Amino acid sequence: MKPRPVAALVFLALVPAAAQPIPEAQADQRARALLAQMTLPEKIGQLSQLFYGIGPTPSDPIELVRSGSVGSFLFVTDPATTNRLQHIAVEQSPHHIPLLFGFDVVHGFHTIFPVPLALAASWDPALIRAVQSLAAREAAAVGVRWTFAPMVDIARDPRWGRIVEGAGEDPVLGSAIARAQVQGFQGPYIGAPDHVIACVKHFAGYGAADGGRDYDSSYIPDTLLWNVYLRPFEAAVQAGVGTLMSAYMDLNDVPATGNRFLLDDVLRKTWGFRGFVVSDAFSVRDLATHGFARDPADAALRALTAGVDMDMGSMTFARQLPALVQQNRVSRDRIDEAVRLILIAKIRLGLFEHPFVDEARAPQVFNDPATRRQARLAAARSAVLLRNEHSALPLNPNLASLAVLGPLADSSSDILGSWSFAGASAPAQTILQALRARLPNARIDYAPGVQLRRRFPSMFDALFGIKHPTPWSPAQARTELDRAVSLARAASTVVLVLGEAQEMSGETGSRSSLDLPGDQEKLLEAVAAAGKPTVLVVLAGRPLNLSWASAHIPAILDVWYPGVEGASATADLLFGDAVPGGKLPVTFPRSAGQIPVYYAHNLTHEPETALDFTSRYQDELTSPLYPFGYGLSYTTFSFSHLRLDKPAVPAGSTIIGSVDVANTGSRPGDEVVQIYVHQRSGSASRPVRELKFFERVSLAPGESKTVRFSLGRSDLAYWSSATRSWVNEPSAFDLWAGADSNAPLHATFDVTP
């Protein structure tokens, strides 16, 4: 093929993406036509993705692009570079195939939104869709048309650092959020202007890593795999997600990247996924590290034949596939199939017609005030009010003096959370700054009190050159703690901001404990002893052990990592300009010793309520500190009139119900109506409760709404390990409606044969 005239390309570049969907069948035809002209090395190039700008690059990337030896880059985030590389690809490479630039647009690109676990706490899929659509717009403006998100790994072990990147412990909440994210990122169709193609990850079971240790093996019984861990992936596939990433770890002894059961039997044959699969970074190479593949050639062979289409970062496909094809160990058809799927994605994204971006447009997109407003709203809607004794919150805006204490109170980076590398170049406002801005006439003093530091450094420190302050000497540490306590004594009110520094959660951010890191518990208890009205603001990427705080600090507001507008949103919440309405997407244990603790567990032979079994631990309650679905408001709500349209339904039919929810307090606020179900008998034991429906509703004081729900075949079906199939079984069912997973309002119905 001859190079296309440059002028035509420049003209085409000004239109950002396909303004009309390119039908899949048409994209397929074009892909096949192109494929017929490509050489084997070029095809293998399309299967190879490289890091750019971080980590080691195997050889000259420009030359690799020119020769068609690479089809995709990750971590290129500025439009001048995407354009420069793209010009080489479409003007100089043999068949002018555009590059696909990918990046972890996890919770914002330039404008950093709350972390995914926080967004999940909003229980607001519409908000999440809107947020990811804005994130996509910013990414697309620089030429990044592929995000490695959503991360939909269910996590029931909060020691696992990456719990922050997902939607928590529940498959129904997780599936709703997975769908919303796919729709937000991709828009109405793959290739929609200002949108990106999504990549659901990490397939599958990464969240069940042994001991919560990142990358460690997962052992997941079939019942949990089908009923829990795979559900959000299936939801993403049904929502039309364009790509999927295989996970790092062994799943039941078979590494996910070489796992044919996952990548072929489940993904392609059972769910009918038609997009392409990318490995996680270096995980093709690592099939040998796991002790699974014999050598790099075997790793390439097994990843490709299991169903991986693109090798992220490791160049194992690039180095091994030519010889494997020559030796007839890998079929040309399998290579063609992988290339075809990747080309279809590039065609549907409109990259052939519009490979470049308008570099002048990116700053305009970044500076859209509507995006910042959405970030502030998202942060406010994600916060969870855990405790509020005697209406300690909201604070009186006329307070005379405030001590703002804690190592996270004046941090502009921790507030963003992980995966914020391409975030706003101007630092985010800190909570201290936001409170100063909110109370211009009050006396506000600040002390960090303690320092925060990981015992073992994060890999991101080295990759991005992140520097940490020099540790205090023991004498300095004493002085700083004393200073914080004396400020607390002198102030009329105290806001303590405690939790985890940014790099304490996320990838390689697993912890063996859920305690407040460092000396923060000491600071907390010393400040509380000062006896002033105290509010604890928690900044963290996971449930923390807040047991002492929950007994002694009147008000606790968990804002997670709330993002670039997180400080202003926190001030809005503390002073009542916004009302907390978020709910926990994950159970808060009393301590790490309770893990795993999640609401949808099965009954034991001796329920907890029996006399001698008030606790199944002899030294700790069985109940968690805060249950799944829990969160308070500045107002109060009541639930009533739980009704079902019939007392019994035949298996496979739908039952319709409704419940009234009323705002019984004096402020407007939001409640999340939650419906839980329990199947009383069947071919297998079922969890005590499972979330089946939720809806976040806004209510004015005194207002009441009737919320309707329906439970159909798929809601009442489960995968039975006895029959090894999906079943809709006749049984009596319990149903509860209310504000969290302990909701008391109860009804029953029967499913009949």
Which residues 592-631 are close enough to bind ligand NOJ by CB under 6 A? Answer: none
Read off the amino acid at residue 124.
D
| H or E segment and range at residue 749 | strand 745-752
Nearest residue (CB) to ligand NOJ, 104 versus 309:
104
Quick note: the x/- pattern for ligand NOJ over 47-86, rule CB under 6 A, is ---------------------------x------------
**104 forms part of the interface with ligand NOJ (CB under 6 A):** yes
Nearest residue (CB) to ligand NOJ, 109 versus 148:
148
CB of 243 to ligand NOJ, least distance (A): 11
Q: What pairing do the DSSP bridges indicate for beta strands 401-405 and 493-499?
A: parallel
Nearest residue (CB) to ligand NOJ, 123 versus 148:
148
Nearest residue (CB) to ligand NOJ, 198 versus 526:
198
**233 forms part of the interface with ligand NOJ (CB under 6 A):** no
CA distances from 157 to 106, 149, 214, 294, 600 (A): 21, 21, 11, 32, 14
**Which residue of this chain has its Cβ atom nearest to ligand NOJ in the complex?**
148
CB of 49 to ligand NOJ, least distance (A): 9
Terminal C-alpha separation, the chain: 64
DSSP string over 371-428: HHHHHHHHHHHH-EEEEEGGG--SPPTT-SEEEEESTTTT-SSGGG-SS-TTS-SSPP
Nearest residue (CB) to ligand NOJ, 16 versus 258:
258
Q: What is d(CA 167, CA 292) in angstroms, rounded to the nearest whole number?
A: 31
CB of 418 to ligand NOJ, least distance (A): 10
The token pair at 641 is 């009139």
- For residues 172 and 122, the answer to whether their CB atoms sit within 8 Å is no
Query: Dihedrals φ, ψ of 386, to 5°?
Result: -90, -30
Read off the amino acid at residue 22.
I
Q: Which of 43, 201, 346, 686 binds ligand NOJ (CB under 6 A)?
A: 201
> Could you tell me if residue 307 is left (phi over 0), alpha (psi between -120 and 50 degrees) or otherwise beta?
left
Q: Residue 253's CB: how many other CB atoms inside 10 A?
A: 11
Nearest residue (CB) to ligand NOJ, 233 versus 598:
233
Query: Dihedrals φ, ψ of 27, to 5°?
Result: -60, -40
Beta partners for residue 548, in sequence order: none
**153 forms part of the interface with ligand NOJ (CB under 6 A):** no
Nearest residue (CB) to ligand NOJ, 279 versus 570:
279
Beta partners for residue 660, in sequence order: 640, 706
The token pair at 619 is 């030294």
Q: Which of 281, 321, 661, 691 binds ligand NOJ (CB under 6 A)?
A: 281
Q: Which of 104, 157, 250, 280 is catalytic?
A: 280
Q: Which of 124, 157, 280, 690 binds ligand NOJ (CB under 6 A)?
A: 280
CB of 510 to ligand NOJ, least distance (A): 13
Nearest residue (CB) to ligand NOJ, 342 versus 491:
342
Q: What is d(CA 155, CA 167) in angstroms, rounded to the nearest whole number?
A: 8
Q: Which of 73, 101, 148, 719 binds ligand NOJ (CB under 6 A)?
A: 148
Which residues 397-436 are close enough to bind ligand NOJ by CB under 6 A? Answer: none
Nearest residue (CB) to ligand NOJ, 35 versus 312:
312
DSSP string over 128-139: HHHHHHHHHHHH
Nearest residue (CB) to ligand NOJ, 74 versus 573:
74
Q: Which residues of 352-381 are buried (b: 16+ CB within 10 A; e: fewer)?
A: bbbbbbeeeebeebbeeeebbebbbbbbbb
CB of 280 to ligand NOJ, least distance (A): 5
- Count, residues near ligand NOJ per rule CB under 6 A: 7
Catalytic (active site) residue 194: no
CA pseudo-torsion sign 410, 416, 419, 423: negative
CB of 123 to ligand NOJ, least distance (A): 24
Q: Which of 138, 157, 507, 671 binds ligand NOJ (CB under 6 A)?
A: 507
CB of 210 to ligand NOJ, least distance (A): 17
* Nearest one of 83, 90, 51, 53 to 68, comparing CA atoms: 90
Nearest residue (CB) to ligand NOJ, 148 versus 676:
148
Which residues 634-663 are close enough to bind ligand NOJ by CB under 6 A? Answer: none
Q: Which residues of 445-455 are buried (b: 16+ CB within 10 A; e: fewer)?
A: bbbbbbbbebe
DSSP string over 148-215: ---B------TTSGGGGGS--S-HHHHHHHHHHHHHHHHTTSTT-TT--B-EEEEETTGGGBGGG-TT
Cα angle 170-172-176, degrees, rounded to a multiple of 5: 115
Read off the amino acid at residue 197.
I
- Would you please indicate which residues are annotated as catalytic (active-site) residues? 280
Footprint of ligand NOJ on this chain (CB under 6 A)? 74, 104, 148, 201, 280-281, 507
